[in-house]
């Protein structure tokens, strides 16, 4: 009888040890899943911030281009009306230079 009690006790200890290993494995798995999820959320947040920054930058560049195009059109209209003062010519030159600095090409460029 003592023998069967010892066997039951050993089996019980083995079952407890197996249960502890399973709990430890589950805890490790949960930590890995949480770490992966946090990493994915951080990456997505960074990508979203980068995308917003690029959209704002594109909007600013488009407004600069529109502003320069309007200024050039204004000066060209003044020149077509026969106004050829030095001030208008200088204004056009500065506008074209600024556009070139920003990377825009003027139709007369090669």
10-residue stretch averages of pLDDT, the chain, 110 residues long = 52 62 79 94 97 95 86 81 76 79 70
Give CA–CA dist 41/35, Å, rounded. Answer: 10
Residue 107 tokens, joined: 């139709």
Q: What is the pLDDT of residue 1?
A: 46
At 19 the pLDDT is: 64
Question: Which token pair is 32?
Answer: 């890995």
With beta carbons less than 8 A apart as the criterion, state whether 60 and 87 touch.
no
Q: What is the pTM of this model?
A: 0.53
The residues spanned by each domain of the chain are: 2-101
Q: Are 95 and 68 in contact (CB under 8 A)?
A: yes
Helices (H) and strands (E) in the chain — how many of each? Answer: 2, 0
* H or E stretch covering 108: none
């Amino acid at each position: 009888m003592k023998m069967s009690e010892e066997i039951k006790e050993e089996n019980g200890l083995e079952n407890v040890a197996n249960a502890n290993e399973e709990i430890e494995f589950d805890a490790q798995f949960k930590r890995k899943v949480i770490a992966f999820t946090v990493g994915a959320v951080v990456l997505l947040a960074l990508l979203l911030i980068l995308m917003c920054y690029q959209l704002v930058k594109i909007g600013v560049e488009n407004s600069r281009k529109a502003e320069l195009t309007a200024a050039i059109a204004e000066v060209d209209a003044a020149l077509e009306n026969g106004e050829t003062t030095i001030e208008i010519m200088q204004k056009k030159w500065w506008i074209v230079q600024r556009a070139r600095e920003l990377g825009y090409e003027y139709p007369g460029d090669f």
